[in-house]
A and B are shown apart, each in its own frame.
Chain A
C-alpha cells in the first residue's frame, strides 16, 4: 500500500467521523419533527404536500399499515417509471430521439430504481431520455433512499417507545426525510459537483472530431447484445476505426448528487463514476465517497440519540468501522500488488513518481489504485453500487472484497437506512446468541427478544442468501444464464454470482463482463431485487411493531451491556459468522479458486 492510499483512507474516515454527530443530530431532529429552523422554513410546503395527498401526518400507523403504505407507494413508483420508459419516444426532453425502452429492460429498470438497487442492464446515454432520467430515475433515487431511512427510523422508534401499537406515520416520515434531508444536501452536493466540472444542461449530445483516427477492438455481439464466441469458447473480436466522438450531455450533476447521497448508484452514463462528466477530479471522487458514507454513518448517531443513549450508536459505528478498515486495506493491497503473470513478463508493477503501479486494468489514470479500490469498498459496503473502476478487472482477491461486502448484507456502513436496520437485526441475533450462552432471556435496549423477533430476524437475514444462491445455481445451470458470460471458468462464475449478489442486496454495481440486458437476466434480477428489498423490510417492520408493543425491561446487574467493546466484538462476530458460513462455498468456486490459479504458475 502506498502512503497516498493510506492517507486517503484515513482522511475519508476522519471526515466521516467528524460529520457523523452533526448530521446524526439533524436527522434525529427532522425525523422527530422538532421545530428546528429547517422544519419551520419548510412547514408551508410540507403542509401543502399533506393537503394535496389527503394525509393527516398526526395519525400514527401500526406496522402493518406502515408496511402496506410503503409497499403501495413504491409499487406506484414502479408503474410510473415503467410507463415513462415505454412512452419516452412520444414525450418531451428527448433531444436524441431515443426509442421506447423494451418491456423487459423497462421492467428491470423500474424495479431496480424503486428498490434502491440501480442495477443497469442498459446504457444510460444511449437509452434514456432526459425526462426518463429526471422524472423517473432521479425521483426514485430520492424516494427509494427515503424509504430505506424511514424503515430504520420506524425500527429505532420501536426500541425507544413502549406499550404502543404504532411506529409512526409513513407519509410524514417519507415527506420529511425527502424534503429536509435528501433535497437540501443533494442540492449542495450538485453545486459542488458542477464546480468540479460535472455536466448540467439540456443540450443535445455533441459530436466532436478526434485529434487522430482511433482503431480499436471490441467483442462482437449478436442482436441480443450477447457476446459471440468461437469454437474454442473465446469471444470473437471485431476491429473498428472512428474519427468522431459523441459526448453525452444532460442534467448529470443533479442526478449524480442523489446517486451517491442516497446510496443509489445508477449512473447517468454507462461508465458511471469512471466517466469524467460524472466524476472529473480527485476532489469530486472524494466527495462522492463521502456522500455515500454520510447518511449511513450518521444514522448510527441518530439511533443512539433516539434511544436515549448515544453510546449505543457509537458501538454500532465502531463495529462498522472495524469491519471497514481491513476490507479497504485488503482491496487496496491486492490491487497495488498487481498481477504476478504480468510481473513474470518483466513488467515493472511498482508504484513510483511516474506510474501508479499495481493492477491498473479497468481503472482511471486520474484516480489510480487507492482511490479506485477504496471507492469499490465504499460502494459495496453500502448499497450504492456506483463504480469508478471496473470491478471485473480487479485481481481475484481485490474483487473478492466488493463481493464479500455485499454478501455480509451491506452493513459496512450499509445503505441509507438499510445498513442500520440490517445491523440492528444482527444485533438482535447477537444478543440472542449471547443469551443462549449465559442462560438468560435475551434483551436489547430494554426490550426482551422472544420467539417472534427471532423468527422475523431469521427471515430478514436468510432471504438474501437464499435468493442469491438459488438464483446463481439456476443461472449457471441453464443456457440463457450462461449465454451472457464473456469469461469462461471461475471468473465467469464470479460474474454470475456477483450479478445475483448485487441485485439481491440492492447494490446495483456490476462485475462487468456479463451481458445482462437479456430477457432472462432482466426478469430474474428484477425478481430478486424485489424480494431482496421488500421481504426483509416487511420482517423488520414486523419486529418494529412487536418491539413497540413491549414493555421496557429495567436494567439489572444481569443485563448485558450493549454499548461496550464486548458487544462490538459480538456484533462483528455475528456478521462475519453468518456471512462467511453462508457464502464461503460459493466464493471458493469463484474468486478464491481464481486467486489460487493465478498464483500457481
Chain B
C-alpha cells in the first residue's frame, strides 16, 4: 500500500509542476 501512496504523491507533485510550467508558458513574467 505504501507504493500506491508514493505514486499518488508523485502524481500530485508532477501535475503541480506541470501547472507551473504551463502557466509560465502562458506568459506570467517568465
Residue ranges of A at the interface with B (Cβ–Cβ < 8 Å): 62-64, 67-68, 71, 75, 78-79, 82, 86, 103-104, 106-107, 111, 165, 452, 455-456, 523, 526-527, 530-531, 534-535, 538-539, 542-543, 545-549
Contacts and interface: CB of A to CB of B under 8 A. Distances in A.
23 contacts: A63-B24, A64-B21, A67-B20, A68-B20, A71-B16, A75-B9, A78-B9, A79-B9, A104-B5, A107-B5, A165-B29, A456-B28, A530-B16, A535-B19, A538-B16, A538-B20, A538-B23, A542-B24, A542-B29, A543-B28, A545-B29, A546-B29, A549-B29
Interface of B: 1-2, 4-5, 8-9, 12-13, 16-17, 19-21, 23-24, 26-30
Contacts of B24: 63-64, 542
A539 B24 CA distance: 10
A68 B17 contact: yes
B29 A107 contact: no
Contact of B5 (A82, A534, A548): A82
A12 B24 CA distance: 43
Nearest to B24: A64
The 6 A-B pairs at the shortest CB distance, nearest first, are namely: A545-B29, A542-B28, A107-B5, A103-B1, A549-B29, A546-B29
Contacts of B16: 71, 530, 534-535, 538
A548 B29 contact: yes
Given A68-B17, A71-B20, A527-B12, A545 B1 contact: no
Nearest to A537: B16
Contacts of A62: 29-30
A538 B21 CA distance: 10
Nearest to A546: B29
Nearest to B27: A452
A543 B28 CA distance: 7
A111 B5 CA distance: 11
A62 B27 CA distance: 13
B19 A538 contact: yes
A71 B13 contact: yes
Interface centre among B1, B2, B13, B16 (most CB of A within 10 A): B16
A534 B11 CA distance: 13
Nearest to A547: B29
B23 A539 contact: yes
Nearest to B16: A534
A538 B4 CA distance: 26
Contacts of A165: 29-30
A523 B1 CA distance: 12
Contacts of A71: 13, 16-17, 20
Contacts of A535: 16, 19
Contact of A546 (B2, B13, B28): B28
Interface centre among B12, B19, B29 (most CB of A within 10 A): B29
B27 to A, nearest CB: 6
B20 to A, nearest CB: 5
Contacts of A534: 16
Contacts of B27: 452, 546
A71 B20 CA distance: 10
A184 to B, nearest CB: 32
A526 B12 CA distance: 10
B13 to A, nearest CB: 5
B28 A545 contact: yes
Contacts of B30: 62-64, 165, 545
A48 B5 CA distance: 35
A443 B5 CA distance: 44
A103 B2 contact: yes
B24 to A, nearest CB: 5
A69 to B, nearest CB: 11
A141 B17 CA distance: 23
Nearest to B20: A67
Given A103-B1, A527-B12, 5 more contacts: A62-B30, A64-B20, A103-B5, A530-B12, A530-B16
B9 A107 contact: yes
Contacts of B17: 68, 71
Nearest to A167: B29
Nearest to B1: A103
Nearest to A108: B5
A547 B12 CA distance: 27
A107 B23 contact: no
A467 to B, nearest CB: 13
Contacts of B2: 86, 103
